[in-house]
Structure 1
Amino acid sequence: MSIIRKSDLKTVDGPEQYFTGKATITGQFQREEPSRVSGAIVHFEPGARTAWHTHPAGQTLIVTEGIGWTQIDGGPKYEFHAGDILWCPKDKRHWHGATAHDAMTHIAIQESVNGTPVMWMEKVTDEEYLAPVAKD
């Protein structure tokens, strides 16, 4: 068993090329082979979001705090809350982040395929980000 203590976790700013607004990434990890699992805790300040991206094996997001928005390209924009779990299907272009007025934190877990857990694309526009939320 191996434990990484909270006091030893490093926090870095989300790279500007992949995030709009202030996002921080804490405790990034990559399991040793043969596992393909990696992950991190990502915190988004209000208005912050990822760029469009895909995951070759999908991604699981466990929302621990706040309220966020997410969208698969061509689909409706959804709101989610602390305690929700999101499944981003493999190879589906999507984004996720905080709402315009609320911060949000999630644990992101994904697997690598051919050494790559994510394919980054262009940034989400303000028009896309501020589009109406779908009604459940």
Structure 2
Amino acid sequence: MKIIPCGSVATKPAPEAYFTGRVLQTPIVEKEEPARLRALLVQFEPGARTAWHTHPLGQTLLIVSGAGRVQSWGEPVQEVRTGDVISFAPGEKHWHGAGPRTAMSHIAMQEALDGVTADWLEKVSEEQYSG
């Protein structure tokens, strides 16, 4: 058993290349090979969001606070809120983030394939975000 004390893992700003707006990330799980699980607490300020991206082995989000938006390529923007669980299939192009006037936090869970958890693409435009 390993206990990771609260506050012992640093929260960091998310990379601007992959996000729009202020986003903070706190690692939860970073398992060593052969395990592949990775999990992060991601906190989005209102209007903040990821860029379009995919995950080689898919991704699951658990919304832990607030309300936000998610979208898969070619589908309409959908509203999500605390308690919702969102599952993206391997290779499914998508984005996720806070609502325009509400913050949102989620736990993002994905597996690494050859060390890669995400393939980052173009940023989400204001028009795409607004739906």
Q: Same fold (TM over 0.5)?
A: yes
Letter in 1 for 2:83: G
What residue number does 2:32 align with? 32
Distance in 2, matches of 1:84 and 1:30, equals 23
Cα distance in 2 for residues equivalent to 1:5 and 1:89: 32
Q: Distance between the aligned counterparts of 1:26 and 1:116, measured in 2?
A: 18
Displacement of 1:29: 3.2
Quote the residue 1:122 is aligned against: 122
Q: CA deviation at 1:34?
A: 1.3
Q: Stretches of 4+ moved more than 4 A in 1?
A: none
> Structure 2 length as normaliser, TM-score?
0.97
Report the residue type matching 2:45 in the other structure.
E
Q: Shift in Å at residue 9 of structure 1?
A: 2.0
- Residue 9 (structure 2) pairs with residue 6 (structure 1): no
Aligned-partner Cα distance in 2 for 1:27–1:37:
12
Deviates more, 1:2-11 or 1:27-36: 27-36
1:98-113 matches, within 5 Å, as 98-113=98-113
SS at match of 2:127: helix
Identical residues among aligned pairs (%): 46
Unaligned runs of 5+ in 2: none
Change in 2 beyond 3 A, CA 1:51/1:36: same
